[in-house]
Structure 1
Amino acid sequence: MQKPREIIDKIYERHLISQCKHTPKHIAIIQDGNRRFAKEKGVDVSVGHKLGARKTEKVLEWAQEMGVRHITLYCFSTENFNRSEYELKELFDLFTEKALAIAKDERVNKNKIRIQMVGNRELVPTGLMEKIEHVEQLTKDHEGFTINLALAYGGRNEILIATRSILEKVKAGELKPEDITTKTIEENLYQEINIPPVDLIIRTGNEKRTSNFLPWLANGNESAVYFCAPYWPVFRKIDLLRGIRVYDQRIKNSHLP
């Protein structure tokens, strides 16, 4: 039997859906608040990360239901390497566990889900990187729904790496400086993967900043941004719909004279 709160939430969800005529193709999410949620609940930080991972699975399901085609998840930034050895081990163990689970999940093949990583692969522990690359290979031909894992990721760092790559090509005579275009930069940012411009950034945990996340694809595309208060483990479908409503309103306003 549904609780009164669940009934109210369902009614409000339908109301939000009725308000949104445009669905973003690509949503990027900064999953913030796992640690603060654990602290407030008086449990180990690893519990917060595990609950956050469960929430991620639900959000991916909701996004697919709504017709979103690409989700980029900010899983682990380059700055996060400053955390304690204990927390890093817990996080990388959790990432490895999830990578193995994805490889065996029948929904991946059924729904043609593609998994790919965005970030500095040299910084990722070897064992975890091998699991991720295995999943990438298994799903490389899937075109139904794409999940981009931003791991060991930093926006300024990725632009720096792309710049070095372009300079090497100029130095080798493979590219002329006058031939460098925005397309050249994009090709060197994401050399082996295809990621479309970001339509909507969502950040949880009541932090109102985008934290160097996908600056080329998000800022360059003037994406909509939705900041919300709930910590990631308690993020609701209503919160996702509110974010989509922000995107919808931006699209509607852009059509005004």
Structure 2
Amino acid sequence: MKELIDAGNLPKHIAVIMDGNGRWAQNQGAARVFGHRNAIKAVREVTEGCAELGVSYLTLYAFSTENWARPEYEVRALMELLVQSIRNELPTMMKNNVRLDTIGDTLSLPRSCQNQLAEAIEATKENTGLNLILALGYSGKWDIIQAVKKVAAEVKNGTLNPDEINEDTLAANLATKERPEVDLMLRTGGDHRISNFLLWQLAYAELYFYEDLFWPDFRREHLYQAILAYQKTERRFGKTGEQIKANSAK
């Protein structure tokens, strides 16, 4: 399937909602945490797959602001797993020239997680391949609210004229300000929603939902499947198909 992909028409930024860990575990008669532990291979598969293809940005919805409401034992296990995974996967990231970064309210994470993230970000900062972004303590509404607060502060201190506020103003204050908007979003688990993820950045993204696939079972072939579907789509951004074809012919 990989050989069918047009390397000249890759999505620049792919975002993933990694859904179904708990249900995958429950289907096997195990605790939800078992599903989270078995999801690490899927993360490695999508990361290495994107790196090999030449995708520039990959954002993974690792922990939302709403996830804090889950049972305490599950949240604690997720935090411990995050620290362990980052430590274990650092050699693989270095091997694949992956640069790690985060978006979200990471100060809300336990100190051990913050420290491990900071070490990995520092270790990979000179890598020039795939930009792997973990959304942690993140939600789309949180992102927009914190951006609006920054813009409001600029207006209040007189450095920004309200009449000059436009889409670029807000985008420049989002957590993703230095990254392109999402071209392709993937979601496993069968649900057809974006669950408060990158609300602004998904404005013109193509959405690909896996009906019968939970995240622990995700492999590179599933990534290729979504990219091939993306490459068959005419992205019009509000224009007509004739306008797109005319511009392409120039």
- TM-score bracket, normalised by the shorter chain, equals 0.7 to 0.9
Q: Which moved more, 1:151-160 or 1:19-28?
A: 19-28
Q: 2:125 aligns with which of 140, 149, 159?
A: 140
Q: CA deviation at 1:20?
A: 4.5
Q: SS at the partner of 1:217?
A: coil
Looking at structure 2, the residues matched to 233 and 108 of structure 1 have their Cα atoms a distance apart, in angstroms, of: 20
Q: CA deviation at 1:108?
A: 3.0
Q: Which runs of 5+ in 1 are unaligned?
A: 1-12
Q: CA deviation at 1:121?
A: 2.1
Q: 1:78 aligns with which of 65, 71, 76?
A: 65
Q: Which moved more, 1:86-95 or 1:130-139?
A: 130-139
Corresponding position of 1:6: none
Q: Does 1:200 align with 2:184?
A: yes
Provide, for residues 92-148 of structure 1, a one-character-per-residue CA deviation record: whole Å limited to 9, x for no partner. Answer: 000011222244x1x433433111111112321222112212222222332211100
Q: Does 1:216 align with 2:200?
A: yes
Q: CA deviation at 1:47?
A: 1.4
Q: Would the aligned equivalents of 2:5 and 2:224 in 1 still touch at CA under 8 Å?
A: no
Looking at structure 2, the residues matched to 125 and 132 of structure 1 have their Cα atoms a distance apart, in angstroms, of: 11
Q: CA deviation at 1:19?
A: 5.8
Q: SS at the partner of 2:85?
A: helix
Looking at structure 2, the residues matched to 160 and 108 of structure 1 have their Cα atoms a distance apart, in angstroms, of: 32
Q: Would the aligned equivalents of 1:29 and 1:73 in 2 still touch at CA under 8 Å?
A: yes
Q: 1:153 aligns with which of 138, 152, 170?
A: 138
Q: Which moved more, 1:36-45 or 1:57-66?
A: 57-66
Q: Which moved more, 1:89-98 or 1:55-64?
A: 55-64
Q: 1:231 aligns with which of 199, 214, 221?
A: 214
Which amino acid in structure 2 is aligned with residue 224 of structure 1? Answer: E
Corresponding position of 1:119: 104
Looking at structure 2, the residues matched to 83 and 165 of structure 1 have their Cα atoms a distance apart, in angstroms, of: 30
Looking at structure 2, the residues matched to 36 and 24 of structure 1 have their Cα atoms a distance apart, in angstroms, of: 29
Q: Would the aligned equivalents of 2:45 and 2:218 in 1 still touch at CA under 8 Å?
A: no
TM-score when normalising by structure 2: 0.88
TM-score when normalising by structure 1: 0.86
Q: Does 1:240 align with 2:227?
A: no
Q: 1:65 aligns with which of 52, 57, 75?
A: 52
Q: CA deviation at 1:256?
A: 4.9
Q: CA deviation at 1:212?
A: 1.7
Looking at structure 1, the residues matched to 119 and 171 of structure 2 have their Cα atoms a distance apart, in angstroms, of: 25
Looking at structure 1, the residues matched to 101 and 5 of structure 2 have their Cα atoms a distance apart, in angstroms, of: 32
Q: CA deviation at 1:252?
A: 7.1
Q: Which runs of 5+ in 2 are unaligned?
A: none
Q: Does 1:130 align with 2:112?
A: no
Looking at structure 1, the residues matched to 37 and 187 of structure 2 have their Cα atoms a distance apart, in angstroms, of: 18
Q: CA deviation at 1:178?
A: 2.0
Looking at structure 2, the residues matched to 186 and 139 of structure 1 have their Cα atoms a distance apart, in angstroms, of: 26
Q: Would the aligned equivalents of 1:199 and 1:223 in 2 still touch at CA under 8 Å?
A: yes
Q: Report the number of matched residues.
A: 238
Q: 2:4 aligns with which of 8, 15, 18?
A: 18
Indicate the RMSD between aligned Cα atoms, in angstroms: 2.0
Provide, for residues 53-98 of structure 1, a one-character-per-residue CA deviation record: whole Å limited to 9, x for no partner. Answer: 1211122111222221211001111111111110011000000112
Percent of aligned pairs sharing the same letter: 33
Q: CA deviation at 1:180?
A: 2.0
